Amino acid sequence: MKKLIINADDFGSSAVFNGKIIELLEKGFIKSTTVMVNRLTEAMNPQTRQLSAIKGISIGLHIELDPAKALRKQMDYQYKKFLGVFGFPPSHFDMHVPKMDSEKMSNPNIITELNKFAERRQLPVRNQGAETKARHTTYQAFHNASFTLELSEIEGFLSRMNDGESAELITHPGDYDPDSKSSLNKERKEDFDKIILLQPILEKLGISNISYFEL
C-alpha cells in the first residue's frame, strides 16, 4: 500500500484557518496537522480542545525559528509549550519558514538541527531531504514553488510512488481571513477545496490517507 500524509500546516496562526483545518480533520479528508504554539491565543482554547478530541489524527509541532537566536533553546521552549497546551507530546515536527528568512531557514545546518531535535525526542520529522535517524516519509515532503496545491502535479508525483513507499503533502488549508497577514491568505480556500478534490485521485491510485502514527 502506498501511503500519503496530508499535513495541514499553520494551525494556530488564525482562528479562521483553525476552523477549516478542524473541518477537514473531522471529515477524514486529512489526518494530520501541525500547530504554531507561539501564535495560539486564549480565544483559540475551544479550538485546541476540539482538535485534541478528534480521534485517529496526528497533531505535530510546527516549530518557528529565529535564525539569530539559539535554535535548540527555541525548539525546547516550543516543545514544552506544546505539552502545556495539549497535555501530550507532538506526533511529529516540521519547521516554519518566514518569508523574509527563507534563504537562511533553508540552510542545511538548520534543517540538521531540527532533525537532531527529533532524534533526541524519538519522534518523526518532516523529510526535507537531509539524512536523519528520526522516522520520516520515503520521499521528501511535496509542495510546488508557490506552496499551493496543483492537482495535476500532485497526481503526477503520487503516480510515481511504489507500493510500500510514503510521502507527505504540505498544505495550507483555510478560508480568507481579513485579519491575517499570512502570505498564503487568499490561497488557503483553494487548498481547502483541492484537498477535497484530491480524495478520488487517492482512491484511483490506491493510496492510503494516513496520519504520522501510521507511518
Centroid of chain to Cα 39: 15
In the predicted structure, residue 24 carries a pLDDT above the cut 80 = yes
Enter the pTM of the model. Answer: 0.93
* Residue bearing the bigger pLDDT, 107 or 207: 207
**Structural domains in the chain?**
2-214 (3.20.20.370)
Cα separation of the two ends of the chain: 12
pLDDT tens digits along 169-184:
999 999 999 988 887 8
pLDDT tens digits along 57-106:
999 999 998 888 899 999 999 999 999 999 999 999 999 755 434 454 45
